[in-house]
Chain A
Amino acid sequence: MKNKSVIIIGAGVAGIEAANNIAENGYNVTLIEKENLLGGNLKNYAKLFPDFYEAGEVKNNLINKLNSENINVYNNNEITELFFENNKWQAVNSQNQKFLADAALLTTGFTVFDAKRKEELGYGIYDNVITSLEFENMYKTGKITTKQGNIPERIAFLNCVGSRDEKVGNHYCSRVCCINAVKQASEFKEIYPDSQAYCFYMDMRMAGQFYEELYRKSQEKHNVIYIRGRISEAAATLDNKIQIKSEDTLSGLPLKMTVDLLVLMVGIEASIGTNQLASQNEINGEYGFAKSKGLYGNDNITNKKGLFLAGTCKRPLTIPETIADAKAAANQIIKYLNQI
Chain B
Amino acid sequence: MNYNNFIIPFCLGASLLLIIIIYKFAKWLSKLDKKQKYFVKRNFFSKKSIAAINEVFREALIHRNIYRKNPLLGYMHMSLAFGWFLLIVVGKIEASFYAGSFFEEPWLAIFFKFFAREQANFWVANFFSFTMDLLLLIVLSGLALAIIKRLKSKILGIKKATKHVIYDKIALTALWLIFPLRLLAESSTAALVQNGSFLTGGIGELFSLQFAQNVELPLYWAYSSVLFVFFVSLPFSRYMHIPSEVVLIFLRKWGAKAGEQYSGLSDFEINSCSRCGICIDACQLSFSANINNVQSVYFIRDTRYKKLNDNIANNCLMCGRCTEACPVGLELTLIRQQLRTKTEIAGKHYYDYCENKNNKNKTDIIYFAGCMTQLTPNIIIAMKNIFSAAKVKYWFMDEDKGICCGRPMRQQGFVQQSKDLISKNTKLISKSGAKLLICSCPICYKSFKEEYSLDIEIMHHSEYIKMLIDENKIKLNKSELNIVFHDPCELGRGLNIYKPPRQVLSKIGKIIDTEFSEKDSLCCGGSLANTVIELETQLEIRNKALEILTKSKPDILATACPLCKKSFTHAYKGKVMDIAEIVSKFLYLQNNSKKQEIKEKEIFSILK
Contacts and interface: CB of A to CB of B under 8 A. Distances in A.
Closest 5 CB pairs of A and B: A120-B375, A166-B535, A119-B376, A168-B570, A125-B377
A86 to B, nearest CB: 34
A119 B539 contact: no
B333 interface: no
Interface in B353-403: 374-378, 381, 401
B570 A167 contact: yes
B557 to A, nearest CB: 15
Contacts of B571: 169
Interface in A133-178: 166-169
A233 B535 contact: no
B260 to A, nearest CB: 30
Given A166-B535, A169-B570, A232-B375, 5 more contacts: A122-B377, A125-B381, A167-B570, A169-B571, A233-B375
A92 interface: no
B519 interface: no
Nearest to B372: A120
Interface string B565-582: 010011100000000000
Contacts of A122: 377
A117 B570 contact: yes
10 contacts: A119-B566, A119-B569, A120-B374, A120-B375, A120-B376, A125-B377, A166-B535, A167-B570, A169-B570, A233-B375
A117 B375 contact: no
A245 B377 CA distance: 14
Interface in A225-247: 232-233, 235, 245
A119 B401 contact: no
Interface in B525-561: 535, 539
A93 B352 CA distance: 62
A235 B570 CA distance: 20
A126 B571 CA distance: 23
B570 A119 contact: no
Interface in A164-203: 166-169
Interface string B275-286: 000000000000
Interface string A112-137: 00000101101001100000000000
Nearest to A116: B569
A111 to B, nearest CB: 14
Nearest to B566: A119
Contacts of B376: 119-120
A169 B377 contact: no
A245 B353 CA distance: 14
B192 to A, nearest CB: 76
B535 A119 contact: no
Given A167-B535, A169-B539, A125 B569 contact: no
A231 to B, nearest CB: 12
A184 B8 CA distance: 92
B350 to A, nearest CB: 9
Nearest to A165: B570
